[in-house]
Homo-oligomer: A and B are copies of this chain.
């Protein structure tokens, strides 16, 4: 494994050179977080469809357990059980607008991962970086378990476990565990653990901070990259269920799903599950005894159990929904944790938005009204007085300070941004598919995917490394 060791040292050096002054040292993390043999144990795989531009190129990398779809370049990187989804990248000729100025793409966008170490990380959507809209760049980045890099350029960034960077552009930053950042240009900053920060410069800014001691109960990481806390236990308990899927060339498809819906062969569906028409269940999703109504979706790393989705409900990457009833058109953001104790213990009303990184974890039933925005830590129904707002009230706000949340700026722009995005997600996932070409989305486009399996060298100095590859076009 000499080559893999060298590569890990190389990445550690690149990251430490850039982040060392911010108090981060990734050497022990890269040394200890993943036992070396595990890089060998899991194969990399990719989907081939007629709808996605195929193109991967892996040079001097280790890719154990990682899934690829669409245009990607990986060099000098270690990816471990990550998802690199290039199915919403910008295309050549697309016009993008930054600060009112329009520019046309001269090439298809590509996700370019260089000198980076991603563990169980989701990479999706397209980059919001005005510097070069053709490249979704992940450079000198260490991203820990269940972090999300969503449409965000990261240059010299450390993401703690369950952290999310979303529609952003981040340079030389440390993003603490379970922090959520959606901000246009962040540089040389430490984003503390459990901070939820949404900023559109000159338009609005939303801030919430989880109490540090409470957060520790859910997620914690030591200096060797070892995780503890409820989130980690929750996901670990489900891991074994995935093993049989990864042992078969063609895992058994889920029977009886709705028309034009898609259930990834790499998702687990246990007990009584109903998957409605146009629904999408992505890979690495775990669903148990639940109903996904028409047009609903569960993105990568979601866990849903004993829950009912009435329809057109979104569970963004990494969200966990337990004993919960979602009325129609509910959005549950990244890595949110809705942990009901018994069926329908948590209910979320129509058109509500559960913000990314929201924790609802209560011994008493929690009912979120229709048309709400809800955020932060909710352990009692009365918490809603400081953690929940009617969306219309939010849209009228220009300054708010509620509990640990502050908001300044244009409330309507903030709410509209969410609404536009929710519509985009439903459209992109094919929730509105009616048989016409224009309404096709991921659920329909991935129907004919076949899965390809790539292994690392099993012996010699290249052990755990993948040979040079180019795949599509």
Binding site for B on A (CB under 8 A): 43, 48-51, 54, 246-250, 447-463, 467-473
Contact = CB atoms under 8 A, between A and B. Distances in A.
Given A468-B472, A468-B473, A459 B250 contact: no
B467 A468 contact: no
A415 B50 CA distance: 56
Q: Across the A-B interface, give the 3 residue pairs with the lowest CB-CB distance, nearest first.
A: A50-B460, A448-B459, A450-B455
Contact of A452 (B246, B450, B453, B462): B453
A191 B64 CA distance: 51
A421 to B, nearest CB: 30
A56 to B, nearest CB: 10
Contact of A50 (B43, B51, B249, B457): B457
A453 B249 contact: yes
Contacts of A50: 457-463
A49 B467 contact: no
A410 to B, nearest CB: 45
A468 B470 contact: yes
Contact of A450 (B448, B450, B458): B458
A247 B247 CA distance: 9
Contacts of A452: 43, 453-455
6 contacts: A50-B458, A246-B249, A449-B458, A450-B455, A450-B457, A453-B453
A447 B54 CA distance: 32
Given A247-B248, A249-B249, A450-B458, A467 B48 contact: yes
Contact of A48 (B248, B448, B449, B457): B457
A284 to B, nearest CB: 17
Contact of A469 (B49, B449, B455, B470): B470
Contacts of A457: 48-50, 450
Contacts of A449: 458
Oligomeric state, in number of copies?
2
Contacts of A453: 249, 452-453
Contacts of A458: 48-50, 448-450
Given A451-B455, A455-B451, A467 B54 contact: yes
A467 B456 contact: no
A473 B456 CA distance: 14
A265 to B, nearest CB: 12
A462 B43 CA distance: 26
A471 B247 CA distance: 23
B48 A455 contact: yes
Contacts of A459: 49-50, 447-448
A400 to B, nearest CB: 50
Contacts of A455: 48, 450-452
A246 B248 CA distance: 9
A462 B49 CA distance: 10
A110 to B, nearest CB: 16
A6 B433 CA distance: 33
A233 to B, nearest CB: 28
Contact of A43 (B249, B461, B463): B249
Contacts of A473: 467-468
A282 to B, nearest CB: 19
Contacts of A469: 469-471
A467 to B, nearest CB: 4
B456 A450 contact: yes
A42 to B, nearest CB: 10
Contact of A471 (B43, B48, B468): B468
Given A451-B455, A452-B453, 19 more contacts: A48-B458, A48-B467, A50-B458, A50-B459, A50-B461, A50-B462, A247-B249, A248-B248, A249-B249, A249-B453, A447-B459, A448-B458, A449-B458, A450-B458, A467-B472, A468-B473, A469-B469, A469-B470, A469-B471
Nearest to A57: B470
Nearest to A473: B468
A59 to B, nearest CB: 11
Quick one: which of A247, A448, A463, A467 has the most chain B CB within 10 A? A467
Contacts of A468: 470-473
A462 B460 CA distance: 37
A366 to B, nearest CB: 42
A308 to B, nearest CB: 33
